Amino acid sequence: MIRLLAEIHKYSSLIVIGETGSGKTTQIPQFMHEVKLDRDGMIGVTQPRRVAAMTISQRVAQEMNTTLGELVGYSVRFEDVTSKCTKLKYLTDGMLLREALLDPLLLSYSVIVLDEAHERTVHTDILFGVVKQAQKFRTERNLKPLKILVMSATMDVDHFSHYFGNIPVVYLEGRQYPVQVFHAIKTQEDYAFSCLVTIFQIHKDAPPNWDILVFLTGQEEIEAMAYNIRLISKDLEGKCVPLKVYPLYSSLPSHMQLDVFRPTAPGMRKVILSTNIAETSVTISGIKYIIDSGMVKNRSHHPGTGLDVLKVQRISQAQAWQRTGRAGRESPGFCYRTYTHQEFDSFRKNPIPEIQRCNLTSVVLQLLTLGINPASFDFMDKPPVEYVDGAIEQLKQLGAIESTVSPKLTATGHLMAQFPLDPRYSKIIISAKDYNCVQEILTIVAMLSGESVFVNPPAKREKAVAAQNKFYSTAGDHITLLNIYRNYNNVAQKKIWCQDNFLNSRNLQYASKVRTQLSELCERCKVPMSSCGQDTEPVRKCLITGLFMNVAELQREKKYVTVGSKQVVSIHPSSVLFGSRPHCVLFTEVVQTGRCYLRQLSLIDPQWLTDIVPEYARKHRLTSYAS
């Protein structure tokens, strides 16, 4: 570590490659603090995920014998646990990017550590350029210098080193134990079922306290499997060690995420069902077995259609090895892959950087707020030109910029940048004052910010539907979410009420917290509170101001087609409008399984499009077939 500190002192930028388990994320910032590298500003350590920022900061605070929020703190979206005396700050890359909007030179920091750099999230890729520029400007203006540390367990070292000006690389030895890998003998048709079978094959024979971590793709899949595991383990009571199931996904409330990290009680077994959130950064003690579904849920942007599509797809080989490594953190482990060796060989070597497959509207808005022209920004890997052009066009349609030729933010654009949201939702919130429905829109946007609030256990599906039915609105899913939140907000015994109505109290709690934050932002941005009461028409009209590109209409042959891109789509079975065939709908997202499904819909009148976005309506004429 002395040699590493000497290298950090010597160079203004450095790449640190440390195997999973080398302690780079928790120890290096502490060593830098000990040698007073935070004398002139904080040491900021970025993480791609909120759960990592929270758990790592807790652990470091514990090791340094300090209260979390004092010397060591964290900052994630909608939650800031820091104070004036914070010196080590763990934060999501998105939060550091938001700080850069107010302070482009990042003057409150003396060191920025870009951790888990290989993940290449959109925010991380933008941060590379922003931090590099801040360092350069501070040097040119004789301001206090900024040190940059780029850390990862695995990465294309030459590519990173070249981007930061051929900076040196330091390799740390890890404490990784051997992990035995087993592949499926033949291709599995249902990866979730294979995972379930494997869990109980292990559970039957493994000693107690040898815990299992299973990689799945999303909340619904995780909750369904958790339900099945609890059901099966009831039948095994007395025959096997007791089994406790813990879900882990990003929208899980903080205290629930932290339950995962508590040691398993003696004589028991813990099964953690996680999205790729547990792939890097976080160490969960006691994990002996990994079960890898080989799948991940990714959001991809299709510039041709203008749609963002959520799709479950294969992971890369690099991700597979990251998952495998989770079992060898404290002792030798085992990894069961539900795919064959041949299938593994066909996986991509590395995941595609998010910036090359995502909608860039948020990114372009942030760059313009920083006064940076997206066309000339120093990207590590340039996004496709049509993605940048599409984002600029969308910002013009939203009224955030006046011209696509030399984009400059309008007053609306500056306001939109204040909200940590997709620009379309920021626009909806800002427009809500014109429709006198700010309260209602804040609720809907907050409800859309987390995972689904519905709980549909397979064995009680009919009961669940009957209970949830009273909230359903013929106007669609957005108003249904509004009804749920209004009722939730008016009851005292919230947890019991949620159980009775088959609703997820954790996700409603999260929505409530998000709503409070958005409400405070509205106050700061001078957006006055207003309510339209029981009249849902203003709410649905207001949703059009940001989501007018997401409209589909029913054709003569009873199929839905998106108005902008003429893509054939279907209403998702989870929608309250499923089976009712309304003429014209506005939707929040597209999910692709076999077909393309629309999720979170509202019933709209085609005339509203002409009234609210006349230019868009003129270019994208609706047909007049009624259902």
H-run or E-run covering 537? helix 537-547
pLDDT at 624 over 70: no
| Biggest CA pair distance of the chain | 74
Last residue of a domain, one of 140, 172, 204: 172
pLDDT band at 441 (very low <50, low <70, confident <90, very high): very high
My answer on whether 52 and 168 are in the same domain is: yes
> What pLDDT digit, counting tens, does each position of 568-585 carry?
999 999 999 999 999 999
My answer on whether 7 and 128 are in the same domain is: yes
Q: Note whether residue 485 is domain-resident.
A: no
Which sign, positive or negative, has the C-alpha torsion 608, 611, 614, 619? positive
Last residue of a domain, one of 324, 354, 384: 354
If you average pLDDT over residues 383-412, what whole number do you get? 92
* CA proximity to 417, closest of 461, 361, 467: 361
My answer on whether 130 and 242 are in the same domain is: no
> What pLDDT digit, counting tens, does each position of 35-93 carry?
999 999 999 999 998 888 998 999 999 999 999 999 999 999 888 999 999 999 999 99
- pLDDT for residue 457: 76
pLDDT band at 22 (very low <50, low <70, confident <90, very high): confident
Domain that residue 365 falls in = 360-416
* CA proximity to 245, closest of 255, 235, 254, 232: 232
pLDDT band at 379 (very low <50, low <70, confident <90, very high): very high
Cα 188 from chain centroid (whole Å) = 28
pLDDT at 279 over 70: yes
Ordered DSSP codes for 333-393: EEEEESS-HHHHHHS-SSPPPGGGTS--HHHHHHHHHTT--GGG---SSPPPHHHHHHHHH
Q: Note whether residue 591 is domain-resident.
A: yes
In the numeric block, the tokens 């309250």 are attached to 576
Q: How big, in percent rounded to 5, are the helix, strand and coil portions of the chain?
A: 45, 20, 35
> Sheet holding 42-47: strands in order across?
79-81, 72-76, 88-92, 42-47, 109-114, 147-152, 13-18, 169-172
Residue 610 Cα distances to 82, 523, 549, 564, angstroms: 48, 31, 13, 14
If you average pLDDT over residues 151-159, what whole number do you get? 83
What does pLDDT average to over the chain?
A: 91
pLDDT band at 497 (very low <50, low <70, confident <90, very high): very high
My answer on whether 160 and 134 are in the same domain is: yes
Q: Note whether residue 603 is domain-resident.
A: yes
H-run or E-run covering 394? helix 385-397
* CA proximity to 544, closest of 472, 470, 488, 620: 620
pLDDT band at 21 (very low <50, low <70, confident <90, very high): low
My answer on whether 402 and 309 are in the same domain is: no
Q: Note whether residue 538 is domain-resident.
A: no
- pLDDT for residue 533: 95
Which sign, positive or negative, has the C-alpha torsion 93, 97, 102, 106? positive
H-run or E-run covering 54? helix 50-63
Tell me which amino acid residue 322 is.
Q
My answer on whether 47 and 160 are in the same domain is: yes
* CA proximity to 24, closest of 176, 174, 178, 177: 174
pLDDT at 303 over 80: no
CATH number at residue 190: 3.40.50.300
Q: Are residues 611 and 575 in contact, defined by beta-carbon separation less than 8 angstroms?
A: no
Distance CA 572, CA 596 (A): 9
Distance CA 205, CA 546 (A): 55
- pLDDT for residue 625: 44
* CA proximity to 110, closest of 145, 73, 85: 145
Last residue of a domain, one of 392, 416, 440: 416
> What pLDDT digit, counting tens, does each position of 161-185 carry?
999 999 999 988 766 789 999 999 9
Q: Note whether residue 490 is domain-resident.
A: no
Q: Note whether residue 509 is domain-resident.
A: no
Tell me which amino acid residue 531 is.
S
pLDDT at 306 over 90: no
Tell me which amino acid residue 186 is.
K
* CA proximity to 564, closest of 613, 624, 617, 626: 617
pLDDT at 483 over 60: yes
pLDDT band at 267 (very low <50, low <70, confident <90, very high): very high
My answer on whether 20 and 149 are in the same domain is: yes
- pLDDT for residue 568: 92
Distance CA 203, CA 131 (A): 47
Overall domain count for the chain: 4
- pLDDT for residue 142: 96
Q: Are residues 25 and 151 in contact, defined by beta-carbon separation less than 8 angstroms?
A: yes
Q: Note whether residue 427 is domain-resident.
A: no
* Burial environment of residue 471 by CB neighbours within 10 A (0 to 12, 13 to 18, 19 or more): buried
Please give the share of the chain, as a percent, with pLDDT higher than 70. Answer: 96
pLDDT at 455 over 90: no
My answer on whether 345 and 369 are in the same domain is: no
pLDDT at 419 over 80: yes
- Neighbour-count burial for 318-352, b at 16+ CB within 10 Å, e otherwise: bbbbbbbbbbbbeeebbbbbbbbeebbeebeeebe
* CA proximity to 602, closest of 583, 627, 621, 618: 583
- pLDDT for residue 558: 85
Count how many residues are written for the chain.
627
Task: Give me the torsion for CA of 326, 332, 333, 339, rounded to 10°.
Answer: 90
If you average pLDDT over residues 415-429, what whole number do you get? 95
Distance CA 377, CA 126 (A): 9
> What pLDDT digit, counting tens, does each position of 340-376 carry?
999 999 999 888 888 888 889 999 999 999 888 898 8
My answer on whether 214 and 314 are in the same domain is: yes
- pLDDT for residue 299: 79
My answer on whether 118 and 191 are in the same domain is: no
- pLDDT for residue 300: 78
- Helix (H/G/I), strand (E/B), else coil: 484: helix
* Burial environment of residue 527 by CB neighbours within 10 A (0 to 12, 13 to 18, 19 or more): buried
- pLDDT for residue 404: 87
Query: Looking at residue 454, what DSSP letter applies?
Result: B
* CA proximity to 75, closest of 627, 517, 533, 471: 517
Q: Note whether residue 342 is domain-resident.
A: yes
Q: What residues form DSSP beta bridges with 74? A: 81, 90
My answer on whether 387 and 411 are in the same domain is: yes
* CA proximity to 229, closest of 458, 454, 451: 458
- pLDDT for residue 471: 97
My answer on whether 559 and 595 are in the same domain is: yes
* Burial environment of residue 235 by CB neighbours within 10 A (0 to 12, 13 to 18, 19 or more): exposed
